[in-house]
Chains A and B, each alone.
Chain A
Amino acid sequence: MTDSSTPTLEIRDFSLVFDTFDGTYHAIDKVNLTLRPGEAMGLVGETGCGKSVLTRAAFGLVPTPPARITSGSVTLEGRELLGLSDRALRGVRGKDVAMIFQDPMTYLNPVFRIGTQLVDAIRAQSGGKASKAEARALALEMLDKVHLPNPERQFRSYPHELSGGMRQRVLIAMALAAKPKLLIADEPTTALDVTIQAQILDLMAELVEDMGLTMIMISHDLGVVAQVCSRVAVMYAGKIVEDAPIRQIFDAPSHPYTQGLLAALPHPFKPVDKLASIPGSLPDLLNPPEGCRFAARCAKAHAACAAPVDFRTVGPGHEVACTLYDLAETKELAHEH
């Protein structure tokens, strides 16, 4: 049915606004993303740039209102998702598209047993077809797969009886039980201790390998992304500004914002220090600039940056939304530091 040329996920021209008391907040602007089967892509950018909103809204997880999708299309293996009913989207979530989130402390329900929550999720993923016993068996199998010690016992535990790392393993088991076509991991290690972070990243890398997962991994941290992903999309103020293979991002970062991210990262495995080195602040998304959203902070900004900026291809699979790559003279400017 789906040949290898059909992308697992294709987001085209996706824009979303929040209708707020102060006006229309242009949170996501004309985003394009393509994910091929088996690909693990990182999505990086500083806090508030729209990573979570983008990956949740695409699957109907951002309440509307206040959000409103103003343009675009989201297809999963060729099937359009925007405009689907709540019920149809529910059939997609969990089963085809799984998510794991940042804070394992808050994403499990405190008053239900781990086992109950796993069984509920697995039965929902199966569209109600799995019996309780089947769901239970699969849940225990998954807990084993994520290397949770003593699965039978944890099955009867409540979330507060587990450590953060254990809870994240439970959430990963829950997300992957249905063998989803796509996994969205939204900063799955940010809230964990460094040693636990490493264990969870190892587990994720193992699962990506074993299960042939197609994944988007969200992070502030290029170092984390580099451990699991082969490609990176860099997001700034609601727009993707650069999309490239991971090596290219480290070897030839092209967008001035990406260059700033890397400059703030002396060692690729050290976390980004909240962009301390790039002066200025995010543009006002209630009245976003028409041209490049990074212009106010960009040392290389020039007249052409005031008009809308499209993607340019600067290498194999390497695209960048920056006017520096149009003309011979500005191309030289692009790599000056």
Chain B
Amino acid sequence: MLRLILKRLGLMIVMLLGLAVITFTIANVAPGDPARLAAGPDASQEMVEQVRAERGFDKPVPVRFFIYLGQLARGDLGTSVYTGREVARDIAQFLPATLELVLFSITIAVVFGIPLGVLAAVWQNKAGDHGIRLLAVSGAALPMFWLGLMLQWYLALELDLFPLGGRLGVFDDVPPKITGMITIDALLDGDPGTAFTALWHMVLPALALSLPALAAIIRVNRAEMLEVLGRDYVTNARAQGIGPFRIIAAYALKNAILPTLAMIGLRFGWMLGGTVLVEGVFDFPGVGLYAAKAAVSSDFEPIMAVTLILGAAFMVTNLLIDLAYALLDPRVRNQI
């Protein structure tokens, strides 16, 4: 087990390097003079040249890549032109909001997706199954961005059930920062009211982020359950007189959940990417919105940093999923 973790962490470093190469290349083939961008629109030509020399923009691209790697290794993610601050500081400020939102979203997708997939399989071809599958098909077909706009327009503007955006209301006090995740900080501060308000602000963006994942989880889990319920070991369990609840919730689900887990990992990645769109719609101050704003102003260092961080988050999640896999399936456990 420990060997697997170490091996995977090593692999992660290699993959992150690859990701750094890709983002760095894209940032450097993009049109525009990075020195001018960094110096700002009002800078004189001399100032631009000075910045070029200072920041090493005059050196060849491969050399600059190694300089960049050196910076990364020191934890220096560069400076944002847009906020004028160190990218590392910006990310420390915005990342907890995104993590909070994405964790809430994946929780919604898993907590509803797995039981709905199971129920659809148990009710195969009955009304309940059709209803659940309709949800699954629409969730898969609708783009997150559009979904976010529609939710915002209908549930927030028309029905006024949820706030339009943000993390808290204008007059709410932000709890003292511990983790940066407002719900958790508020709970730690003994303020469940604020925790709830923060959660309430996340409902719509989380729905937009989670519906596609929810749909995918339902589909995979339903198909796997149907398959597993037809397996011989289920017949044997029934032949022993074991009741339907134990058969479905334990004997079948523990087998069906394995492929579903892989899907959850994949969808978590999509969700991370989706924050760039959805945080924009809901004016939710996370790294997604930060990256989107940086992209608009061709501010590459924040974009590269966010890409690397989201990439790392995706890889860590998939490692966790593989560990869960091993925990659930003794055959996998024996191999590692």
* Residue A71 interfacial (CB < 8 Å): no
* Residue A103 interfacial (CB < 8 Å): yes
Q: Could you say which interface size class chain B belongs to?
A: 20 to 34
* Residue A330 interfacial (CB < 8 Å): no
- Report the interface size for chain A: residues with CB under 8 A from the other chain: 32
Contact B330 A110 (CB under 8 A): yes
Contact A121 B240 (CB under 8 A): yes
Contact A93 B251 (CB under 8 A): no
Contact B243 A124 (CB under 8 A): yes
* Residue B89 interfacial (CB < 8 Å): no
Chain A contacts with B in 81-112, Cβ cutoff 8 A: 86, 90-95, 98-99, 101, 103, 106-112
* Residue A250 interfacial (CB < 8 Å): no
A160 in contact with B330 given A106-B231, A109-B233 (CB within 8 Å) = yes
Contact B239 A103 (CB under 8 A): no
Q: How far is the CB of B64 from chain A (nearest CB, A)?
A: 51
Contact B240 A111 (CB under 8 A): no
Contact A90 B330 (CB under 8 A): no
Residue in B233, B243, B329, B331 with the greatest tally of chain A CB atoms within 10 Å = B233
A158 in contact with B330 given A94-B239, A95-B241, A99-B239 (CB within 8 Å) = yes
Interchain CA distance A158-B233 in the complex, whole Å: 13
* Residue B79 interfacial (CB < 8 Å): no
Residue in B236, B246, B331 with the greatest tally of chain A CB atoms within 10 Å = B236
Contact A93 B240 (CB under 8 A): yes
Chain A contacts with B in 213-227, Cβ cutoff 8 A: none
Contact B330 A94 (CB under 8 A): no
* Residue B46 interfacial (CB < 8 Å): no
Q: How far is the CB of B240 from chain A (nearest CB, A)?
A: 4
Residues of A within 8 A of B330 (CB): 110-111, 158, 160
Interface membership of chain B positions 242-253, coded 1 if the CB is closer than 8 angstroms to chain A and 0 otherwise: 111010001100
A108 in contact with B241 given A158-B331, A160-B330 (CB within 8 Å) = no
Contact B240 A103 (CB under 8 A): no
Residue in A98, A121, A158, A171 whose beta carbon sits within 8 Å of that of B242 in the complex: A121
Contact B243 A109 (CB under 8 A): no
Contact A103 B232 (CB under 8 A): yes
What 3 A-B pairs have minimum CB-CB distances, sorted nearest first? A94-B241, A121-B240, A106-B232
Residues of A within 8 A of B (CB): 56, 59, 61, 86, 90-95, 98-99, 101, 103, 106-112, 117, 120-121, 124-125, 158, 160-161, 171, 174-175
Q: A92-B241, A103-B232, A174-B240 are in contact. List 8 more A-B contacts (CB 8 A).
A: A90-B238, A101-B235, A110-B331, A111-B329, A112-B254, A124-B242, A160-B331, A161-B334
26 A-B residue pairs with Cβ-Cβ distance under 8 Å, sorted by A, are A61-B238, A61-B239, A90-B241, A90-B243, A92-B241, A93-B238, A98-B240, A101-B235, A101-B236, A101-B239, A103-B232, A107-B232, A107-B233, A108-B236, A110-B233, A110-B255, A111-B254, A111-B255, A111-B328, A120-B240, A120-B242, A120-B246, A121-B240, A125-B241, A158-B330, A160-B331
